[in-house]
Structure 1
């Protein structure tokens, strides 16, 4: 089904059944199976939108404003997508993409978390989101609840301030007071992003600083830290050793949470695969890369260089114990984003505005790098795969031997052609070097003969 909807932006629900479209009047919810409008939320001026983990709730953000009494207006609202009722309202003074979402949902939507000064508020679904449990974390700037159901773990980041180092910590919130499980202190960190693995046994904290102490990067510096979420392994908290000096471009956990890939270092960047205990497993080499994407099963891995880079994409098959084997490669020039299809067999790349105002397009490649689809757009703001509808399952299949054989033959042909071209270039270069050397020697001989004639004439003049 293809349909066109008037909207400034749109976000699909995690279960793939509904679409939230932002309009001037508010937010409209549509049924993706037939395009029917389910309900409209009367909330004008929405600038950001976010779904809960199950799609039962949706969070909207309006620009900050003040009420008549001078207090901040309730510009953050959580809505029940079944009834259209507001279940939670909050007032915040700052709304931007960098700190969004401001309301974090626990797995299963059993609770919602919101950070305030020195405290994280937990709103329980059982109480109708009316009461808040206060979790004291002094100086908390960024936090993230764990994704595993049944666990009440919270990872938090506290920025460096007044000579005190920054802190990343994992706490257990199941009791009346939070209990620290692991903790790591470090300097030169004013912001951070937190990434949990799926089973919530560990998390990664990407700490950033606006300035680079070495003056090698205009964009500041970044460091990666590893925190275990098990008290018995608290001493394993550490700074992740980067494969190369320079910024951390991207970090991605595998869907199973047993490995994570790091793209780091000054160009050409280095790509390294590590296990869930932060031990290096496999070196994927260097190249003009800045992003990594796992397919939904964690079997295929795409390493790419987008934005200001040429757009090279390399596809790997992760084998046992983390060993990776290259399946293919391609190039998607001027691409900005990349994402795997729900079936895990295709990669979508998109060139979008406002990053680029020309040559907007979407391209689809299979897992060995063959382009199967391309569509241009005059202006493309966003492109993404729809999540599979409920009840849809895909099988985790290995790469097809026939396709791999064809891709290998193609690579051998290309490699042979490239080698032949390289030999031809080397021969031409050697021939030019020989010609240049002969010309140099001839020039030296001519200069020597001229000097000898000049000395002969001088001797004759002196004799006379």
Structure 2
């Protein structure tokens, strides 16, 4: 059965929603030209729902047959429960004349299979709008003022089944796994430290674990797959030490058994960019520090196990089976994506994925999806599917790409990745379109011949005189702009003022005779000393560039020219030192 399972993904563009299955075929299963607001798969991959202006359509993901259409208007957010049994919807809160006695219940929970409306709540903020579910869907919880309220999913009409009251609580999270646990966060108040507490939802009176700390305004909870441990990522709006404009971050580790908790010690200053648990729930990776950032693997006791080195990276994800992982740099970084083998700690390939808005592992643990979405970039929108060896196996280009997602599936539906395989042979490798790298030119200079370039001209486009020009040599007057020529003449005229035209001017001044010292030796003049300092500085820059080459970084043309001139610089420095 495993060899017949084919991954599936869907994307929403200006043409509607498209569902594709692959690899290897990547055939279009369905295409709709309707105007959609958003879509979402259920976490178990059984349903696909999308938002229309006047309704919500729910399909069976395996057959693309419609299951239900909920007649609800102006919905902005939707989200399934873990097994897809329930669907939550959120719309903007509307005030009516009788809002005090009959408030608008803009958060609604529906039964997916029947379309039955089960219950509704009033939820003002869009951030954190939905209820949180246990993995078995037996109960759900929502946060109100100073308490977390729990509901029995089999009997919403009963109302609140239990409450966890805690003064000042601002955030909470339910764990996955067989033992449902709730983690709550209480920020600092009146000199008291912030705190995180863990409770068993069947016994909310006594906490399982407790951790106090300062400098935390908000938190993110990262549970491992089994729900036995949680990483609490804390953040402050202002860094009082002045080291970071974006605030201060820290990471704390807690166990639901209450026998171990600690702060995860990071040995490089700077913010925490990202973290990820391994699917085995026994280890995790943190990307942290000033750029180039550092990536470190920690064990189940938060002890460092392996360091992946320094690079311009801010994202990390394990593959669903846990054998592979990628460490990437998105946002304002170049977009390079390093694929690593966790078993051998060997970097397999670096995939260029610049400007990507999204990057996700395929459920088969063999492919990676990157996408450029319209919300971040208005050009070059599309989807790229990469094999973990770096081969681009499929691509979809669109004028406007709004969102894209894999259909969730269990990782054990595919054979375990026991050994690394070569790039797939059954799919023709798609080459990314080669685009010339342009140079920014101000509006006033557009439409005319450029006066300069960051790259060497192509041989066929260069003239006979310019093709042999030494890099860095000044262009002749005919090749520079009028303004540059005018400035050049001014400099020459100013340089020639005060000189006698009858006396021929040497191209370089004659060296001054050194004044003998008291011991008969000739001291080094200030000009020679300055030259030695400049040459030493240039050789140090070349050493830094060589270190970057050894680390496998990409270099600019000017940097390569500096390395080529190292021998001449050393010869000149040696001559000056002898003199």
Q: Sort the TM-score into its range (normalised by shorter chain).
A: 0.7 to 0.9
User: For residues 240-251 of structure 1, what are the structure 2 equivalents within 5 Å?
Assistant: 240-251=264-275
Question: Does residue 1:44 correspond to 2:73, yes or no?
Answer: yes
Which residue number corresponds to residue 485 of structure 2? none
Q: Which structure has the greater CA radius of gyration?
A: 2
CA shift, 1:403, in A, is: 5.6
Q: What is the TM-score normalised by the length of structure 1?
A: 0.84
1:340 is matched with which residue: 361, 369, 391? 361
For structure 2, the 5+ residue unaligned runs are 1-28, 425-548
Farther off after superposition, 191-200 or 131-140: 131-140
Which residue number corresponds to residue 386 of structure 1? 407
User: For residues 338-377 of structure 1, what are the structure 2 equivalents within 5 Å?
Assistant: 338-377=359-398
CA shift, 1:415, in A, is: 8.7
| Contact 2:274–2:287 under 8 Å retained in 1 | yes
1:206 is matched with which residue: 209, 233, 237? 233
| Contact 2:199–2:209 under 8 Å retained in 1 | yes
CA distance 1:178–1:298, change in 2 (3 Å): farther
Question: Does residue 1:35 correspond to 2:59, yes or no?
Answer: no
1:187 is matched with which residue: 214, 228, 243? 214
| Contact 1:260–1:275 under 8 Å retained in 2 | yes
- Matches of 1:378 and 1:286 in 2, distance apart? 36
User: For residues 210-289 of structure 1, what are the structure 2 equivalents within 5 Å?
Assistant: 210-231=237-258, 233=259, 236-289=260-313
Which residue number corresponds to residue 339 of structure 2? 315
* CA shift digits 1:64-109 (9 cap, x unpaired): 223432334101111100111111211122223xx24x30011121
CA shift, 1:430, in A, is: 1.7
CA shift, 1:33, in A, is: 3.2
- Matches of 2:413 and 2:370 in 1, distance apart? 23
- Matches of 1:427 and 1:170 in 2, distance apart? 57
2:418 is matched with which residue: 386, 398, 405? 398
Secondary structure class of the residue paired with 1:3: strand
1:147 is matched with which residue: 162, 176, 181? 176
CA shift, 1:14, in A, is: 1.8
| Contact 2:273–2:287 under 8 Å retained in 1 | yes
Which residue number corresponds to residue 448 of structure 1? none
Question: Does residue 1:326 correspond to 2:353, yes or no?
Answer: no
- Matches of 2:63 and 2:560 in 1, distance apart? 60
- Matches of 2:336 and 2:134 in 1, distance apart? 37
Farther off after superposition, 391-400 or 73-82: 391-400
Farther off after superposition, 162-171 or 33-42: 33-42
For structure 1, the 5+ residue unaligned runs are 405-413, 446-464
CA shift, 1:128, in A, is: 3.8
Which residue number corresponds to residue 162 of structure 1? 190
CA distance 1:272–1:139, change in 2 (3 Å): same
CA distance 1:401–1:31, change in 2 (3 Å): closer
Question: Does residue 1:295 correspond to 2:319, yes or no?
Answer: yes
Secondary structure class of the residue paired with 2:158: coil
- Matches of 1:376 and 1:128 in 2, distance apart? 45
| Contact 1:248–1:264 under 8 Å retained in 2 | yes
| Contact 1:250–1:264 under 8 Å retained in 2 | yes
| Contact 2:364–2:411 under 8 Å retained in 1 | no
CA distance 1:255–1:129, change in 2 (3 Å): farther
| Contact 1:147–1:199 under 8 Å retained in 2 | yes
1:127 is matched with which residue: 132, 155, 159? 155
Figure out how many residues of one structure are paired with residues of the other and give that number. Answer: 421
- Matches of 2:166 and 2:551 in 1, distance apart? 61
CA distance 1:277–1:310, change in 2 (3 Å): same
- Matches of 1:262 and 1:220 in 2, distance apart? 18
CA distance 1:433–1:392, change in 2 (3 Å): closer
CA shift, 1:435, in A, is: 7.0
Aligned-residue Cα RMSD (Å) equals 2.9
CA shift, 1:16, in A, is: 1.9
CA distance 1:427–1:336, change in 2 (3 Å): closer
- Matches of 1:417 and 1:73 in 2, distance apart? 59
CA shift, 1:173, in A, is: 2.1
| Contact 1:142–1:158 under 8 Å retained in 2 | yes
- Matches of 1:238 and 1:340 in 2, distance apart? 30
Secondary structure class of the residue paired with 1:144: strand
CA shift, 1:424, in A, is: 7.9
CA shift, 1:426, in A, is: 7.0
| Contact 1:12–1:20 under 8 Å retained in 2 | yes
Secondary structure class of the residue paired with 1:174: coil
- Matches of 1:225 and 1:202 in 2, distance apart? 11
* CA shift digits 1:213-248 (9 cap, x unpaired): 2223222222111111103x1xx3222112321111
| Contact 1:119–1:140 under 8 Å retained in 2 | yes
1:62 is matched with which residue: 48, 70, 91? 91
| Contact 1:173–1:179 under 8 Å retained in 2 | no
Query: Greater strand share, 1 or 2?
Result: 1
* CA shift digits 1:302-344 (9 cap, x unpaired): 000011100111111112xxx6222222211111221111110
CA distance 1:307–1:228, change in 2 (3 Å): same
Of structures 1 and 2, the one with the larger relative CO (CA 8 A, separation 6+) is 2
Secondary structure class of the residue paired with 1:382: strand
| Contact 2:321–2:411 under 8 Å retained in 1 | no
